[in-house]
């Protein structure tokens, strides 16, 4: 019905005239086109199922040539042009109109729809009585590909089917979700919570609405239609507020109905910080087992959290972090002796945790210090009467202070006591000439004393000579005498003024091996005795330190 007529060129022709008629005499024409510059011409649409005649003549400036002999052809019935849905369209509704263009002269159309491309099976429509160019299909399956084509009838002849088109229907509509949490009419819900629902069939996304308005006309806190999961976290809710929520599902096929509206109410505001009772702030000597922590009950709190740590920031050293308490007391065991701990309490309800109290600290009971080992002077030794220096080791368990006791009586009936010593050394003066003394030490904590050390005895001999008539003009350190020596020798030094003096002995490695004198000495010359019984033969250095002055000499011990 739409075709192109072609002919061979005529000699000397510059243009052509074309006639098409349903009459071989060409008394009437359906095409009468002149001055065609080419040797072909498209005609149509012609009447379907009709015999046509056509002829051509050439022309130039000299005139018209003769018409050719006519040729004849019979038109068929043209296939209708499909319009919609577009070929290979997707997400098409299961109720869809099929539309095509009319064919000239057609009196009716026939339509085939099938689920196979060759229309050999799965045919759902085969209608030959259609007078219109539209056919509405209903009841199609979801997610199904369909094929369709149409042909036209002109007079009594049916034309060919148009090339088949296809379309695919949309997914099945998503099912209605089932609400899960918070439960309908739930109370005491936190101000930050998660709304959850069951997955709906065929759902691609979900639309959640939540707010303080039961009609969802306003007051939204959530109106999110992009959710792909079956939960949504919600925060910033008000305390003691009623909220409403609902969910529907969606996919390419459309949206489901909203599930029935549920509601919930949030908690009252979180509790304030409790008031601590025991142990008192900065308490000491607390037991390591059975220590009771207590605080005042807090209105609105359903639970309490206790934290105990050796770190005041609670970032480390966390000893307890108990969040399950419903009472206002907690008994703790397993604390470490002589350790400072920090503790605090916070209340909690369904709305969340309240603030922690200010931090308190306490110190556990220190262990009784161990027995001290005395170092110097040695038992039954001889010491300088002007200033005797007593030393001892730190005990295990340790001590924070020491009780130094010295007496001329072995039963310590007449005793001098210093209980304020914090170092492991004590310089004691003066001592009586040619007297015998006894001394001992014990360690202590803030609240208790340990056992005494062994008792040591020493004698006092006049070992310094002070000659006021002969006062040196500068600090001097004389060569020891005798030298070499075995095992004792005398060391003399001179002081131009009263000074704090130390006389020490070192080996050649620079290690101190003895302290001969220590303390304040008057101006003048002084002689001290050095006993090297515990040393091996060799060269030694002895050093005088007086104020900012330091003097050295060598001496030889030969055994």
Using omega within 30 degrees of 0 as the cis cutoff, is the peptide bond preceding 430 cis?
yes
Check residue 481 and give its pLDDT.
80
* pLDDT at site 414: 74
Answer whether 530's CB lies under 8 Å from 489's CB: yes
- Can you give the pLDDT at residue 453? 95
Q: What is the pLDDT along the chain (559 residues), one digit of tens a residue?
A: 789 999 999 999 999 999 999 999 999 999 999 999 999 999 988 887 789 999 999 999 999 999 999 999 988 888 899 999 999 999 898 999 999 999 878 889 999 999 999 898 888 888 888 999 999 999 998 889 999 999 998 877 888 899 999 999 988 888 999 999 999 999 988 889 999 999 998 899 999 999 999 999 998 999 999 999 999 999 999 888 999 999 999 987 788 999 999 999 988 777 888 999 999 999 988 999 999 999 999 877 889 999 999 999 999 889 999 999 999 999 999 999 889 999 999 998 876 788 999 999 999 988 899 999 999 998 888 887 766 889 999 999 889 999 999 988 888 877 888 899 999 999 887 777 778 889 999 999 888 899 999 999 988 865 444 444 468 889 999 888 888 888 888 898 999 999 999 999 999 999 999 999 999 998 988 889 999 999 999 999 999 999 889 999 999 999 8
Question: What confidence score (pLDDT) does residue 469 get?
Answer: 43
* Backbone φ and ψ of 301, nearest 5°: -90, 135
For 108-160, give the DSSP string.
EEEEEEESSTTSSS-EEEEEEEE-SSEEEE-SPPTT-EEEEEEEEEETTEE-P
Q: Whose CA is closest to 269, among 187, 358, 185, 191?
A: 191
Q: What token pair was written down for 62?
A: 């000299």
Confirm if 457 and 440 have CB atoms less than 8 A apart.
Answer: no
Inter-CA distances, 169 with 93, 204, 257, 354, Å: 6, 16, 21, 56
Quote the pLDDT of residue 372: 95
Sign of the CA dihedral with 122 first, then 124, 128, and 130 last: negative
pTM greater than 0.85 (yes/no): no
According to the model, what pLDDT value does residue 462 have? 57
Residue 473 confidence (pLDDT) = 87
- What's the pLDDT at 243? 96
pLDDT score at 466: 43
154-199 pLDDT per residue, tens: 877 888 899 999 999 988 888 999 999 999 999 988 889 999 999 9
Q: What tokens does 507 get?
A: 């080996």
Angle at 94 between CA 90 and CA 97, to 5 degrees: 85
412: region left, alpha or beta (phi > 0 left; psi from -120 to 50 alpha):
left
pLDDT of residue 464: 45
Number of residues in the chain:
559
CA distance readout (Å), 33 to 12, 24, 72, 412, 523? 19, 17, 17, 151, 150
């Amino acid at each position: 019905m739409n075709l192109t007529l072609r002919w061979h060129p005529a000699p000397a022709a510059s243009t052509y005239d074309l006639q098409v008629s349903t009459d071989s005499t060409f008394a009437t024409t359906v095409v009468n086109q002149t001055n065609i510059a080419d040797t072909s011409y498209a005609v149509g649409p012609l009447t379907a199922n009709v015999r046509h005649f056509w002829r051509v003549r050439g022309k130039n400036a000299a005139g018209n040539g003769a018409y050719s002999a006519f040729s004849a052809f019979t038109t068929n019935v043209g296939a209708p042009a499909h319009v919609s849905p577009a070929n290979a369209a997707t997400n098409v509704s299961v109720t869809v109109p099929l539309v095509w263009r009319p064919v000239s002269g057609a009196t009716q159309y026939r339509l085939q729809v099938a689920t196979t491309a060759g229309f050999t099976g799965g045919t759902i429509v085969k209608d030959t009585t259609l007078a219109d160019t539209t056919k509405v299909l209903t009841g199609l399956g979801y997610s199904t590909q369909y094929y369709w084509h149409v042909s036209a009838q002109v007079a009594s002849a049916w034309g060919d089917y148009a090339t088949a088109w296809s379309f695919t229907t949309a997914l099945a509509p998503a099912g209605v979700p089932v609400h899960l949490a918070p439960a309908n009419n739930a109370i005491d819900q936190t101000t930050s919570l998660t709304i959850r629902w069951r997955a709906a069939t065929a759902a691609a996304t979900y639309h959640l609405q939540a707010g303080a308005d039961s009609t969802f006309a306003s007051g939204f806190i959530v109106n999110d239609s992009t959710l792909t999961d079956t939960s949504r976290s919600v925060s910033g809710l008000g305390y003691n507020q009623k909220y409403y929520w609902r969910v529907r599902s969606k996919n390419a096929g459309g949206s489901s109905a909203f599930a029935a509206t549920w509601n919930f109410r949030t908690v009252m505001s979180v509790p304030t910080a409790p008031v601590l009772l025991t142990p008192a702030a900065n308490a000491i000597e607390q037991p390591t087992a059975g220590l009771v922590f207590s605080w005042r009950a807090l209105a609105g709190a359903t639970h309490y959290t206790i934290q105990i740590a050796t770190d005041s920031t609670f970032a480390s050293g966390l000893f307890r972090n108990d969040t399950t308490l419903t009472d206002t007391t907690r008994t703790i065991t397993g604390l470490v002796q002589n350790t400072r701990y920090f503790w605090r309490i916070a209340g909690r309800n369904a709305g969340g945790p309240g603030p922690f109290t200010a931090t308190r600290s306490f110190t556990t009971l220190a262990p009784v210090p161990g027995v001290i080992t005395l170092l110097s002077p040695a038992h039954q030794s001889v010491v300088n009467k002007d200033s005797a220096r007593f030393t001892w080791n730190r005990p295990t368990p340790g001590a924070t202070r020491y009780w130094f006791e010295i007496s001329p009586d072995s039963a310590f009936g007449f005793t001098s006591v210093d209980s304020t010593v914090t170092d492991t050394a004590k310089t004691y003066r003066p001592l009586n000439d040619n007297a015998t003394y006894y001394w001992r030490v014990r360690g202590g904590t803030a609240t208790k004393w340990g056992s005494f050390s062994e008792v040591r005895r020493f004698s006092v001999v006049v070992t310094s000579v002070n000659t006021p008539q002969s006062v040196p003009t500068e600090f001097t350190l004389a060569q020891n005498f005798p030298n070499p020596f075995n095992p004792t020798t005398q060391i003399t030094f001179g002081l131009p003024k009263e000074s704090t003096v130390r006389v020490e002995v070192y080996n050649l490695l620079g290690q101190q091996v003895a302290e001969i004198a220590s303390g304040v000495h008057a101006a003048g010359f002084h002689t001290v005795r050095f006993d090297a019984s515990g040393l091996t033969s060799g060269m030694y250095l002895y050093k005088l330190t007086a104020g900012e002055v330091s003097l050295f000499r060598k001496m030889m011990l030969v055994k």
